[in-house]
Amino acid sequence: MRLQGKTAVITGAGSGIGRASCLLFAQEGANVVAADINEESAAATAEACQAAGGAAIYVRTDVSRAEDCAQMIRRAEAHFGALHVLFNNAGIMLSEDGDAMATEEDVWEMTMAVNLKGVWLGCKYGIPALRRAGGGSIINTASFVALLGAATPQLAYTASKGGVLAMTRELAVIHARENIRVNALCPGPLRTELLMKFLNTEEKKQRRLVHIPMGRFGEAEEMAQAALYLASDESSFVTGTEFVVDGGITAAYVTPE
C-alpha cells in the first residue's frame, strides 16, 4: 500500500475532494485525520474510513482560526504519533462572489480567510510536525483559475487560489532541504457540491463545459488519485509544482465565438 505507516491530515474532509481523499488514503494504508468545520460530516468520513478497514479520527476544524489548526495537528500527533502528509484542501466558493464591482467586502474577506489564510495556518502548525517526523508532503488545493481567468466572474476565489500557488512555491523552496515537499493541486471544474452551487444555472454550467476538451466535469475521486501521488513516495522528486488535473482546460482555454 502506497501510504502504509503514514499519517495524513486532510482538511475539508466532510465532502468533495477531501472526503474522497480520506477514503482513498485510508485504503492505501494511511492513518487519516479528517478535519472539517462541519463536525457531523467529518465524523461520517472518519466512520467510512474505519468501515473500510482504515484507521481514522475526526476533528472539527475551522481552518481560518489559528487555535483550530493548532489543535488539528496536535490531535494527529497525539493519536498517531507523527504527521507525514498535510493536505490543505478546505475551501469555499460563495455565490455572491463576482467581479471587482459586484463582490462585497465581507465576501472577499471570508473567501481569503478560508482559502488563503487557512492554507497558511495549516502550514504554520503542520510544518513543525513534519520536521519532527523527518519530512513529508504538503498538498495545497489551488485551482485552474489560479492560472487562467474564470469565464464566470469569481474574483475573490480566483485571487485566493492565486495566493495559494505563490505561497506553495515559496514554501517549497524554503523547506526543500528539510525533506518537506510542497505542491499545489490545481483541479479543473469538478462535479462537486461546491462548484455546482456556484454554477447554479444551465447557462453557467455550459460556459465552463465549452472550454473543457474532455467535455465533462471532473470527479472528486480523480483529484484524490492525484493527491495520492503527491502524498506518496512516488513523487519524492516533485516539489513546488502546479499539479494541473483539469481535463485539458488550461491547454485549450479560448473564448468561443
Q: Which residues are catalytic?
A: 157
Q: Which residues contact 123 (CB under 8 A, 6 or more apart)?
A: 86, 88, 138, 167, 171, 182
CA distance 222 to 136: 22
CA distance 169 to 189: 23
**Local structure of residue 11 (DSSP, 8 states):** E
Q: Check: CB of residue 31 under 8 Å from CB of residue 8.
A: yes
Three cell numbers, residue 71: 489543535
Q: Check: CB of residue 220 under 8 Å from CB of residue 20.
A: yes
CA distance 108 to 101: 12
Angle between helices 155-175 and 118-132 (to 10 degrees): 20
CA distance 120 to 150: 24
